[in-house]
Structure 1
Amino acid sequence: MNMINPKTPTKKYLVTALAAIATLFLVYSCNKTKDFKAVTETDGVSSNLTTTTKPNIVFILGDDVGVDIPTCYGGQSYQTPNIDMMAQLGMKFTECHSSPLCSPSRVCIMTGKYNFRNYDEWGVLDPTQSTFGNLLKSAGYATFVGGKWQLDGGDAGIHGFGFDDYSLWNAIKDGVRIGSHYKDPQVYEKGVLLPKNKTEGKYGDDIFTDRLLSFIDKNKTTPFFAYFPITLCHDPFSPTPDDPEFASWISKGNPSDTSFFPSMVKYMDKKIGIIIDKLKAVGVYNNTIIIFVGDNGTPSEIYSWVNGKLVQGGKSQTNESGTNVPLTVLWPNGIAPGQVNTNLIDFTDFLPTLGDAAGITIPLAYGQTDGQSFYNQLIGGTYTPRDWIFNHYAPNTNKGNTILLRWVQDHTYKLYDSADVFFNIVKDPLEKKPIKPTRMSPYETLRKARFQAILDSLH
C-alpha cells in the first residue's frame, strides 16, 4: 500500500511490489512531491494512468457518515465492501474535514467557499452563488443531481446552480412539507412532486439511484457530472427494502430505531456498487472519477466499534469525531491503486479539484473562492499539500443554533478563535484539555501565533 506524504517527515518507505499488478510506487516524505505514471489492470482492460478525454465524474455524498463507519477506516460494525473496494483500487484520504452539520457542509463543498462568504440560513443557498454544477456545465458536461437537495429554490434554483436534470428530496424550504425520504418518499422532479401512485411503498434512494442510472445511460457518449447526495444514512433510522420489516413499516408512524442503522449503511454501500456496475456495463468505468465522501460526523445516537474501541458518533461536534469524514476516490484511468493519502483536505477543495479534472479554471465571476485543488495528488503530479484548514461554523439551524465557532488546524494542533483555546488533537481528539500557555513548547507557541494570524485574515 502506497503512503502519500505521511505525517512523520523523515521516515523512508520501501517500494512495494503489489501482487498481480505490475506497478512501482515511489514513496516520498511529507516535505517532497510525487510524480508517477503507472499502468494498472481493471476488468481485463489495460489503462495508462493518463487520459486525453475529459473524465466523467460521479460524486457521492453520504449523509451523516463519519470516518468511523467504513471498514477500510477501521470500522468493525458495518458492511461497506464497495467503499472498501474504492479505497483498494483508488486513493483513500485520512484527513478530509467537513463542517459538523450538513447544510453548512453542502454550501461549502458545492461553492468552494468558506461559510462566512455565502452562508446565512440553514437550508438555503444564495441564488447569486455558483456551484461545481455550474463549473462542470460550463466545461461541456451534462449534469445531474439526485438525492437530498436542502438548498431551497426549487426548479429554478436547481437549474440556476448548473444542473440539467434532477430527482430530489427537500427541494423547497418554505411552503412545501418536506415529507419522507425513505419509504413513501416525497420526490421532486421537473418542478413538481411525484404523485403518490409513483412513490407509495417505494424507497427514496431507490428512485434517486434509478434516475441516476438512466442519466448515465442517456449520456454515456458525452462527459457527464452526476452529483449524488444520497439521503442515507440520516435519521429517521428505519428499515431498507432489504429488511423484512420494510413491508409493514409505516413511514409516518413508526419511531426512529437505531437498530436499523447497520442495514442502512449496508444499503448505501449497495447503491454505490450498483452505480459502479452501471458505469462498467455502459463502458465508461475506466474514465470515470468516482468520489465518495461523508458530509459530517456520524449521529450521536450511534455507537460503533472502530479498531477495537467503542466510539460515539460526533455529528454536531466541532472536534475530530464531528468533522473528520471518509473520502475515497476511484479513477482507473487516472489514479494508481492502493494509496493512502494523509494530507489535509478541506471541503472548499472539491470545486477547484473538479475544475482541474475537467480542464477549466474557476471564472472570476465566481468571486473569492478558498479551495486548493488536490487533483495532482490524485494523478501523481507535483503538488504542495495544505499546511492548515479553516472552518467558520455558524449553522443557524432551524432549532436556533446560532453559535459562531471559528478554528484553524493542521494534523496535530487546533486553535479556536475568540475562545483562544489551543489543542493537541492527536493526543486529545475530543478536545478535553486545552494546552496551557505556560506549558507550550516554543514550537507550539509559534504555531498558535501562526494560526491566530490566519484567523485574523479570514473575515
Structure 2
Amino acid sequence: MKPPTRRSLIYLFGIIAIAMAASCKRIETLSPASESLAAHNKALLAGPTKPNVIVILADDIGYEVPAVNGGISYQTPNIDQIANTGMRFTQCRASPLCSPSRFALMTGKYNFRNYTTWGVMGQNEQTLATLFKSAGYTTLAAGKWQFDGGDASIHALGFDDYSVWNPYEIASSGSQGSNYKDPKVYQNGAYEPDTSNLGKYSDDIFTDYVKNFIEVNQANNFFIYYATCLCHAPYSPTPDDPAFATWNPADRLNDTAYFSSMVRYMDKKIGEIITKLQELGLYENTVILFSGDNGTPHHIFSVVDSTAVEGGKGSTLEAGIHVPLVVSWPNGITSPGTINNNLIDFPDIMATCADIAEADVSGFGTLDGISFYNQLTGAAYTPRPWSYNYYNPHTNSGNNKLREWVQDSTYKLYITVNNNYRFYNIKNDPNELAAIKKRNMTPGEKTIYNNFKSILTTMGP
C-alpha cells in the first residue's frame, strides 16, 4: 500500500469532528414483529395509491462514509435523515467494483446468471424499471448509466425518461466526456451540445431533472433510479468550492483532499430531492433507498470511532464490499431510527421492490434476492442466513480473476479456482491475513465451515 501524501494526511487529521446533537428519537434494534403489528401495517398500506420509490446509488461510497454509520470525516445530514426517519442496515454487501454491483441491483440476480461484459447489459434483461412499469409506475433513470446501448437499451430496460452520463460503454473513458464540470449529458437519444453545459455540474443537472420529473408526475406513481456521478474520481472541486470557477476538467485534477466536499455536495443534492417531495406533499408516501455501489477507493482515509480507515474498492475484503444502506418510508410504515443488523445482498433490493409495488415477477426467471419488505413494515420475517458473491469483474485490469465466497457478518469462506477453501473470521481478521486451519477450528466454526462449503457447491454456473 502506498503511503498517504502529505496533503492527504492534512485532510485526514485536520478534519473537525461534527458535533452530534443528542437525538430525542427512540432507537430500536430490529427483531421479528408480532402478527398484530403486521396486520396494522397491512391496513396502513391499503391506501389509495402505492408508494413512490426512489433508489439513490452513490458511486464509490463505502459503509464508513455516512456520519450515521459512525464516521466523523464527512457531513451527511440528509443521508442521516433518511436513516433516522427510517431504517439503517449495518450488514449490506455489494461487489468490489461498480459494474458487477449494478447488475445485481438492477436485475436481482447474482453475477453468474447474466453478467458477462463490463458495463454492457443485454436488452432482454428484466430490471427494477420493468418491474415498476408492470405495476403501473412511470420510470426515470438519472445520472451514471453504465449499462450500454444508449436510448434503445434505456427504453428496453424499462425506463420512460432519462438524463444520463455514460450511455455507451466506450473503451476509452476519456471519450465519455467529463462526469463533473462541463459534463457530457445524454437525453432524448442524443448528447446535448457541449456548449449547453459549459460551467455546469453533472449532478446539478441530474438532480434538477429528477425534481422536474417528480413535479410532472406527482399525480402518478413513479420510480426513480438516480445513480450519482459523485463521488467517483477524478476528485475535484464542486460548485461549492472556490476553486470550481477556474477549474478546467480537461486537466483531470485528481486530489483526494476534495473527496470530503464531494461527499458533502452529494448529500446536498439528496437533500434537494427530499425538499421537493416535501413541498409537493409526496414525502410521506415515498420510499427512499440510499446505498453505495462498492467500497470507498484506496487512498481515501476516513475516521470512524477515532480510527483511520482506508477504503478498499476493488478488493473482496470488507472494505471493498461493505456498503451503506438506509431506507425511509415515513407514512407510518417504518419505525423511525430502526437499526437492522440482518444480512442484505444487492439482489434483495429487487425482491423488496417487487413487494412494495405488488409486482408480478414470475416471468423474470430465477431471482436470487430475499425480500426485506417485512422488515421495513414490522411484520414477521425470516432474515437472510448468508450472503453470497460470484465476482468475475471482466475488466482489463490486472486484478481480473474469479472470486467466489459465502459469508455472514463474522465468518467468510472462499472457494478458489482449484477447489480449495479459505476460511476467515472477518470480525477478528478484517484484512484476511490468516485463514483458519481446520485443525484449529472450534466445533461451532466447523459447523459454519461445512454449511458454507455446501452452499458453494450448489451456487455458480
1:116 paired with 2:115, answer no
Q: Structure 1 CA distance, aligned partners of 2:203 and 2:94?
A: 23
CA deviations on 1:159-178 (whole Å, 9 max, x unpaired) are: 01100000000011248921
Which residues of 2 match residues 138-149 of structure 1 at below 5 A? 138-149=134-145
Aligned length: 428
SS, match of residue 370 in structure 1: coil
Which residues of 2 match residues 216-227 of structure 1 at below 5 A? 216-227=214-225
Contact 2:234 2:252 in 1 (8 A): no
CA deviations on 1:216-257 (whole Å, 9 max, x unpaired) are: 001001100000001100000000000000000010114211
Aligned in 2, Cα 1:217/1:427: closer, same or farther, shift over 3 Å?
same
| Aligned position for 2:423 | 422
- Look up the equivalent residue of 1:131 and give its one-letter code: T
| Aligned position for 1:5 | none
Contact 2:83 2:328 in 1 (8 A): yes
Q: Structure 1 CA distance, aligned partners of 2:197 and 2:284?
A: 34
- Percent identity, aligned pairs only, is 51
Q: Structure 2 CA distance, aligned partners of 1:295 and 1:28?
A: 24
| Aligned position for 1:272 | 270
**CA-CA distance at 1:50 after TM superposition:** 3.8
> Structure 2: which 5+ runs fail to align?
1-21
- Look up the equivalent residue of 2:293 and give its one-letter code: D
| Aligned position for 1:188 | 186
Contact 1:112 1:371 in 2 (8 A): yes
Q: Structure 2 CA distance, aligned partners of 1:115 and 1:392?
A: 6
Q: Structure 2 CA distance, aligned partners of 1:383 and 1:409?
A: 20
Q: Structure 2 CA distance, aligned partners of 1:93 and 1:191?
A: 37
Q: Structure 2 CA distance, aligned partners of 1:96 and 1:35?
A: 26
TM-score (structure 1 length as normaliser): 0.90
Which of 315, 318, 326 is equivalent to 1:317? 315
**CA-CA distance at 1:416 after TM superposition:** 0.1
Contact 1:35 1:380 in 2 (8 A): no
CA deviations on 1:43-91 (whole Å, 9 max, x unpaired) are: xxxxx95452200001100100001101111111110011111111110
| Aligned position for 1:6 | none
Of 105-114 and 428-437, the range deviating more from structure 2: 428-437
Aligned in 2, Cα 1:33/1:242: closer, same or farther, shift over 3 Å?
same
SS, match of residue 249 in structure 2: coil
1:286 paired with 2:284, answer yes
Contact 1:423 1:434 in 2 (8 A): yes
> Structure 1: which 5+ runs fail to align?
1-17, 39-47
**CA-CA distance at 1:361 after TM superposition:** 2.7
- Look up the equivalent residue of 1:105 and give its one-letter code: S
| Aligned position for 2:68 | 72
What RMSD over aligned residues (CA atoms) do the two structures have, in Å? 1.9
Aligned in 2, Cα 1:36/1:424: closer, same or farther, shift over 3 Å?
farther
Contact 2:218 2:280 in 1 (8 A): yes
Q: Structure 2 CA distance, aligned partners of 1:415 and 1:367?
A: 28
| Aligned position for 1:154 | 150
Which residues of 2 match residues 204-215 of structure 1 at below 5 A? 204-215=202-213
Which residues of 2 match residues 56-71 of structure 1 at below 5 A? 56-71=52-67
Contact 2:29 2:339 in 1 (8 A): no
Q: Structure 1 CA distance, aligned partners of 2:136 and 2:239?
A: 37
Q: Structure 2 CA distance, aligned partners of 1:388 and 1:136?
A: 27
| Aligned position for 2:344 | 345
Q: Structure 2 CA distance, aligned partners of 1:79 and 1:51?
A: 37
| Aligned position for 1:11 | none
CA deviations on 1:341-362 (whole Å, 9 max, x unpaired) are: 0000000101110010001131
Q: Structure 1 CA distance, aligned partners of 2:437 and 2:52?
A: 50
| Aligned position for 1:389 | 387
Q: Structure 2 CA distance, aligned partners of 1:401 and 1:458?
A: 23
| Aligned position for 1:44 | none
Which residues of 2 match residues 367-446 of structure 1 at below 5 A? 367-399=365-397, 401-418=399-416, 419-446=420-447
Q: Structure 2 CA distance, aligned partners of 1:311 and 1:58?
A: 30
**CA-CA distance at 1:402 after TM superposition:** 2.6
Contact 1:49 1:379 in 2 (8 A): no
- Look up the equivalent residue of 1:216 and give its one-letter code: I
**CA-CA distance at 1:198 after TM superposition:** 1.5
Contact 2:50 2:221 in 1 (8 A): yes
Contact 1:34 1:383 in 2 (8 A): no
CA deviations on 1:249-284 (whole Å, 9 max, x unpaired) are: 010114211110000000000001000000001111
Which of 90, 94, 97 is equivalent to 2:93? 97
Q: Structure 1 CA distance, aligned partners of 2:171 and 2:414?
A: 38
- Look up the equivalent residue of 2:57 and give its one-letter code: L
| Aligned position for 1:447 | 448
SS, match of residue 318 in structure 1: coil
Q: Structure 1 CA distance, aligned partners of 2:102 and 2:243?
A: 32
SS, match of residue 231 in structure 2: coil
- Look up the equivalent residue of 1:223 and give its one-letter code: N
Contact 2:28 2:339 in 1 (8 A): no
Aligned in 2, Cα 1:274/1:150: closer, same or farther, shift over 3 Å?
same
1:178 paired with 2:164, answer no
| Aligned position for 2:10 | none
- Look up the equivalent residue of 1:66 and give its one-letter code: G
Q: Structure 1 CA distance, aligned partners of 2:109 and 2:263?
A: 29
Q: Structure 2 CA distance, aligned partners of 1:429 and 1:233?
A: 24
Q: Structure 1 CA distance, aligned partners of 2:409 and 2:24?
A: 34
Q: Structure 2 CA distance, aligned partners of 1:223 and 1:205?
A: 24
**CA-CA distance at 1:400 after TM superposition:** 5.2
| Aligned position for 2:3 | none
Which residues of 2 match residues 40-51 of structure 1 at below 5 A? 50-51=45-46
Q: Structure 2 CA distance, aligned partners of 1:224 and 1:315?
A: 32
SS, match of residue 259 in structure 1: helix
Q: Structure 1 CA distance, aligned partners of 2:262 and 2:235?
A: 8
Aligned in 2, Cα 1:342/1:191: closer, same or farther, shift over 3 Å?
same
Q: Structure 2 CA distance, aligned partners of 1:128 and 1:351?
A: 17
Which residues of 2 match residues 182-261 of structure 1 at below 5 A? 182-261=180-259
- Look up the equivalent residue of 1:406 and give its one-letter code: E
Q: Structure 2 CA distance, aligned partners of 1:430 and 1:340?
A: 26
Q: Structure 1 CA distance, aligned partners of 2:286 and 2:362?
A: 24
Q: Structure 1 CA distance, aligned partners of 2:117 and 2:127?
A: 17
CA deviations on 1:128-158 (whole Å, 9 max, x unpaired) are: 2110110001100000010001110110000
Q: Which runs of 4+ in 1 moved over 4 A?
A: 18-21, 25-29, 32-38
Q: Structure 1 CA distance, aligned partners of 2:206 and 2:318?
A: 31
